[in-house]
Amino acid sequence: SAQAFRHLPPIRAPFFGVRRLVAMGKQKAAKPQKSKGGGDDAETISAVREVQDKLEELNAQADQLKVNLRRAEIETQRSNLTIKELEALPAETKMYRQVGKMFLLQPKPDLETHLRGNAALKSVEAQQMKQALAKLGEQANSEANSLKELLGAEKMEQTFGPKFGAGYRAGAGNKAPQ
């Protein structure tokens, strides 16, 4: 039963209970378990592999979104801090804006407008990325439910522990510590 899944590479998943589910599966998979009447068919193994691939893909997407989200937040903060520094300077001060490898002379109001626009744009992008990350979390929970349906509640509990057995529903507020 569980030995049929041992040859599969470990599942990596990005969110709450799913990450815990994967971690617990790695622990339990090391111990051989006796089969109770009949092995797993190739169809089930193939379906589990598909779910695993989907979880890995979702994890990669979530990691990329987190990196981009962090960059957007840093850029927003950088623009806001620069605006604060510019407020103290007189309007006649020569100011330059970097464009690629060169610097262009810009009037203070134009530079402030550019920085405010950039901060607003990056802030909106960050909000969109947070929403996309939440959607990825929902998809990962859906995949965890699919895995539970494929394996069945008993096998899920045997493989991943009692937290993910019969009473577990991914996305139902069951959040495991990371």
What is the gyration radius of the CA atoms in the chain, in angstroms? 25
Centre a 10 Å sphere on the Cβ of residue 23 and count the other Cβ atoms it contains: 18
The answer to whether 20 and 178 are in contact (CB under 8 A) is: yes
- Tens of pLDDT, residue by residue over 136-156, are 999 988 888 888 887 777 777
Please check the confidence at residue 117 and state whether its pLDDT lies above 90. yes
Selection from 109-118, 151-160, 167-176 with the highest mean pLDDT = 109-118
By residue count, the chain amounts to 178
Residue 112's closest CA among 129, 130, 93? 93
Centre a 10 Å sphere on the Cβ of residue 62 and count the other Cβ atoms it contains: 19
Please check the confidence at residue 110 and state whether its pLDDT lies above 90. yes
CA separation for the pair 142, 148 (Å, rounded): 10
Q: pTM for this structure? A: 0.62
- Tens of pLDDT, residue by residue over 51-108, are 888 888 999 999 999 999 999 999 999 999 999 999 999 988 999 999 999 999 999 9
Tell me the three state secondary structure of residue 103.
Answer: strand
